[in-house]
Amino acid sequence: MNYPYGASIEDAYKKLQYDIYHVKNRSVSLYIATLIKRRSCLLHNLRNNNRYEILVTGGAGFIGSHIVDAYVKRGHNVVVIDNLSTGNRKNLNPKARFYQLILKIARCLFRFQKEKPQVVNHQAALASLRLATKEPEVLVDSNIAGTMNVLLASGRTKIKRFLFASSCSVLGHPKKLPATEATPIEPLSPYAYTKYANER
The answer as to whether 192 is a domain residue is no
CA angle at 61 for the pair 27 and 143, rounded to the nearest 5°: 115
Q: What is the CATH number of the domain that holds 61?
A: 3.40.50.720
The answer as to whether 43 is a domain residue is no
Catalytic site residue 191?
A: yes
Among candidate residues 3, 52, 71, 191, the one labeled active-site is: 191
Q: Which residues of the chain have pLDDT under 50?
A: 1-10, 12-13, 16, 20-28, 44, 46-47
Rg of the chain on CA atoms, in Å: 17
Reported pTM = 0.73
The answer as to whether 146 is a domain residue is yes
CA angle at 113 for the pair 107 and 114, rounded to the nearest 5°: 90
**Residue 49 has what pLDDT?**
58
Query: Using one digit for the tens of pLDDT, what is the confidence trace for 25-62?
Result: 444 455 555 555 555 555 545 345 578 999 999 999 99
CB of 41 within 8 A of CB of 65? no
Residue 178, preceding bond cis, omega within 30 degrees?
yes
The answer as to whether 127 is a domain residue is yes
Using N-to-C axis directions, what is the helix angle for 62-73 and 28-45, rounded to 10°?
40
**Residue 21 has what pLDDT?**
47
